[in-house]
Amino acid sequence: MSPPGRREDALFEWIGKVNGPIWGDVLDAGTGAHSLGWLATLPTRSLTAVTVEDWRLGELPTIAPRARIVRGRWTDPTLLHDETFDQVLVDYVIGAIDGHEPYFQYDYLARLRPHCRGAVYLVGLEPPPRDGSLLDQVCRVRDACILLGGHRMYREYPCELVRRWLEAAGMHVTDVRVFPNRIGARFVNGQLDVAKRKLPLFTDQALARAMEGQIESLRASALAQGERTWGADYVIAATVTP
């Protein structure tokens, strides 16, 4: 599931400004097409990218042929053993961990800390506002379908909490920027399509059919209201003294 309304240019542009032009050995600590695609455009000395998902392994080398793609789990103590990096990008990883290794998000930044010898840039998504809006309902229906399909959801955490986790892990936060999201048809269709793909996995197919009706009526209402500002992304910049 991709984060809502990501405006990677604005987020990455901000990180680029905070970092300046010098890039060394860079780690993409939870990689994907967006983050690796951006990092591949930078004058890095080396580029290493970690993922736990096999399905990404086909496309990532085509996006960044020069990068070293590592398939591994951060719970594995031997992953990138003894390796350190000048810049570490943590791009929408915190929220994704619960879907792969529940509860590990609370230890993840401490696990990363020994691999950092310079800057850390953490991109996250604020938890969706529980405001009863149509977009809130879209997120609730998506999550209900993921659960009824027997899968695990993403779990997002607020900027302030993640900032404290970084400090507790021994990183010094130097800058924070919040980017309010403009949400439109791409988000609505993307999230409701995720919900729809879970329907064949429901144990109760009568419930699945009823849910499909709910998904489509919600889609029509949410699309009719047009684009609006809802929720936010954030970027936290931190430094680590070796």
Ligand X SMILES: C[S@@+](CC[C@H](N)C(=O)[O-])C[C@H]1O[C@@H](n2cnc3c(N)ncnc32)[C@H](O)[C@@H]1O
What are the residues binding ligand X (CB under 6 A)?
30-35, 50-53, 56, 73-75, 91-93, 96-97, 100-101, 104
What's the closest the beta carbon of residue 149 comes to ligand X, in angstroms? 18
What's the closest the beta carbon of residue 35 comes to ligand X, in angstroms? 3
What's the closest the beta carbon of residue 206 comes to ligand X, in angstroms? 33
CB closest to ligand X, residue no? 32
Nearest residue (CB) to ligand X, 25 versus 53: 53
Two tokens, residue 122: 């953490």
Q: How far is 223 from 157, CA to CA, in rounded Å?
A: 27
Nearest residue (CB) to ligand X, 96 versus 195: 96
Contact call for residues 121 and 89 (beta carbons, < 8 A)? yes
What's the closest the beta carbon of residue 208 comes to ligand X, in angstroms? 26
Contact call for residues 51 and 60 (beta carbons, < 8 A)? yes
Q: How far is 190 from 25, CA to CA, in rounded Å?
A: 34
What's the closest the beta carbon of residue 217 comes to ligand X, in angstroms? 29
Nearest residue (CB) to ligand X, 76 versus 160: 76
Nearest residue (CB) to ligand X, 1 versus 176: 1
Nearest residue (CB) to ligand X, 49 versus 218: 49
Nearest residue (CB) to ligand X, 100 versus 196: 100
What's the closest the beta carbon of residue 132 comes to ligand X, in angstroms? 27
